[in-house]
Amino acid sequence: MTPEQLREIDLNQLVVLDVLLQERSVTLAAQRLHLTPSAVSHALKRLRELFDDELLVRDGRRMSPTVRAHELSETIPRALRHLAHTLVAPEPFSPATSTRTFRLAGPDFIAPLVLQAVGKVAPQVRVEWAPTTSMAVQELTRDHYDALIGSSAFKHEGLRGQSLGEWPWRVFGRSGHPAFNRWSLEAWCAYPHLQIGTSIIRGHGPIDRRLSELGISRRIGAVVPYFSMAAPVVAQTDLLLTVPSMSLHNAVEVYHLDQRAVPFELPPMNLSLFRSATGGQEKGVRWFLERIEAACEQM
């Protein structure tokens, strides 16, 4: 679309389109926009001419979006948010008094440190935590999340990453685990393993990729979604757990776990703090990113 064509667009039409794509009903959209159904119908007619597409097709009482409308449902909300951010002066951010909500995706073992780092200086700030998943990555590119913590090996063109550091891997097991009596690669392979199923990278993780290079295999006895579930499971079974050292450092004494070095060469885990390529410059978000970095330095 050329600058000349842009002059013909009424911004209010894009606002109507955004609501229509959410409600998929002229009547419901009219109620939300405090307009008459007739006004919304006329706006939809102009939008169809503008985009040369039906956009919404009658399907019973509701309307179904076309392929083009599905595409616009991804881009229009983001464009309107960026435009609002451009036109409206940002509110001053004061950690001590702010009641803002930040959204972060990351492994759960980092949560206590991050929440502590935030709470010390911003007691009224709220943090909504979510696991690091492929859906969270898509949400971050759309600025629905403020940040994401994940493996530095992960790449996405819509994100910008900053290293948080690297940590060696360790093998954890219950106190008195027979594998630790004569610790070796053979002992490590002889027992079933517990796996944390939180990786956003499809396929094998770094451990199994390294085992494949060495021509070695292991048996996965169980998979749990969170690191916080791992310690009690390992403490009461013969499952072995190979994870970055800092992920269980608080749980070793609580659950009386034993640990050993990984019995083969395994590069340390590198974690990065990711933000949207188009976000992260607003003062409040910058402050939040700095608190995450400070928390990870403690690890």
Q: Are residues 46 and 108 in the same domain?
A: no
Could you tell me if residue 95 is inside a domain? Answer: no
Could you tell me the CATH number of the domain that includes residue 137?
3.40.190.10
Q: Are residues 246 and 195 in the same domain?
A: yes
Residue 125 structural domain: 101-165+271-297
Tokens matching residue 73: 């449902």
Residues 189 and 21: their CA atoms lie apart, in Å, by 53
Nearest to 194 by CA among 171, 168, 212, 166: 171
Q: Are residues 183 and 208 in the same domain?
A: yes
pLDDT band at 218 (very low <50, low <70, confident <90, very high): very high
Domains contained in the chain, number = 3
Could you tell me if residue 96 is inside a domain? Answer: no
Residue 288 in this model has a pLDDT that exceeds 90: yes
Long-range contacts of 7-15 (CB under 8 A, 24+ apart): 8/50, 9/50, 10/46, 11/83, 12/43, 13/43, 13/46, 13/47, 13/50, 14/76, 14/79, 14/80, 15/80
Could you tell me the CATH number of the domain that includes residue 75?
1.10.10.10
In the prediction, which pLDDT does 144 show? 84
Nearest to 127 by CA among 95, 83, 155: 95
Q: Are residues 215 and 254 in the same domain?
A: yes
In the prediction, which pLDDT does 211 show? 93
Residue 201 in this model has a pLDDT that exceeds 50: no
Nearest to 241 by CA among 206, 191, 205: 191
Q: Are residues 154 and 291 in the same domain?
A: yes
Residues 195 and 243: their CA atoms lie apart, in Å, by 9
> The whole model's pTM is what?
0.66
